[in-house]
């Protein structure tokens, strides 16, 4: 079996006396769509924050492309090839749509401080390339016509698309989406699902958190289920949704 693109092994995380994660493991391969589901408070976002370098785990290891990830250093994690969006949209709301995507691209730039200050020819050339790349990404996610609008004036669905475009600007090998369909109507969810599939088809693996179990099951190759900080099931969507512990976690005890 090929080496997983991302492998988290027995991750533990506590906040004071609260055990948020207890020996949680997950592995996903290149070109896959993996779902992470569970009831509110299950530990999903905490796990995401460990994988993307926002939190340091108290125990366990995370490896990406065969190498340990730098814990607690989100910028370094992004540079290694993991990009993410957030449950609560985090755009630069007073900047243009295009500028937001350009910011994401700067993790791959080479011009140093001197080049930025003195606006060398190399810096200007690189900036032009970043702008061109950002425009192409806006077209990719379907909001190219909005490039010069202020980001905070976009519709909710288009703000979600902008977040994805900005994340893709870092050229990730893995895109982690934290509840990307939250707040969307049925039409927007369908469009988002098509975009997620296209991103995977173009070579980027996807890890996503979602509360809409049906939506996740239609998209994912593999699903991991957390409850009270522990993994209670994993497998194909069909296997997971038929699992008695998953049914109990979502619907309560005594449900057939």
> Which pTM does this prediction carry?
0.87
pLDDT tens for the chain, 256 residues long, are 467 999 999 999 999 989 999 999 999 999 999 999 998 889 999 999 999 999 999 999 999 999 999 888 888 898 899 999 988 888 989 999 999 999 887 665 555 444 444 466 777 787 888 999 999 999 999 999 999 999 999 999 999 999 999 999 999 999 999 999 988 888 989 999 999 999 999 999 999 998 888 899 999 999 999 999 999 999 999 999 899 998 888 766 543 3
* Residue 36, beta-bridge partner list: 209, 224
Contact between 4 and 213 (Cβ < 8 Å)? no
> End-to-end alpha-carbon separation of the chain, Å?
37
For domain 1-81+172-256, which architecture applies? 3-Layer(aba) Sandwich (3.40)
Contact between 170 and 100 (Cβ < 8 Å)? no
Domain ranges across the chain: 1-81+172-256, 92-171
């Amino acid at each position: 079996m090929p080496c997983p693109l991302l492998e988290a092994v027995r991750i533990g995380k506590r906040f004071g006396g609260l055990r948020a994660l207890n020996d949680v493991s997950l592995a996903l391969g290149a070109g896959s769509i993996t779902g992470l589901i569970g009831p509110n408070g299950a530990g999903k976002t905490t796990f995401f924050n460990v994988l993307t370098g926002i939190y340091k785990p108290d125990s366990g290891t995370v490896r990406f492309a065969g190498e340990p990830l730098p814990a607690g250093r989100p910028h370094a994690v992004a540079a290694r090839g993991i990009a993410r969006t957030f449950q609560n949209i985090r755009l630069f709301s007073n900047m243009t749509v295009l500028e937001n995507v350009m910011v994401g691209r700067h993790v791959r730039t080479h011009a140093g401080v001197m080049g930025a200050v003195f606006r060398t020819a190399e810096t200007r050339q690189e900036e032009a390339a970043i702008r061109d790349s950002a425009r192409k990404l806006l077209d990719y996610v379907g909001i190219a016509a909005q490039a010069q609008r202020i980001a905070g004036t976009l519709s909710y669905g288009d703000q979600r698309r902008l977040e994805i475009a900005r994340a893709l600007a870092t050229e990730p090998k893995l895109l982690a989406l934290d509840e990307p369909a939250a707040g969307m109507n049925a039409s927007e969810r369908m469009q988002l699902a098509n975009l997620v599939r296209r991103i995977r088809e173009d070579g980027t693996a996807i890890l996503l958190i979602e509360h809409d179990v049906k939506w996740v099951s239609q998209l994912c190759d593999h699903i991991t289920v957390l409850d009270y900080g522990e993994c209670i099931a994993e497998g194909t969507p069909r296997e997971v949704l038929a699992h008695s512990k998953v049914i109990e976690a979502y619907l309560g005890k005594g449900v057939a």
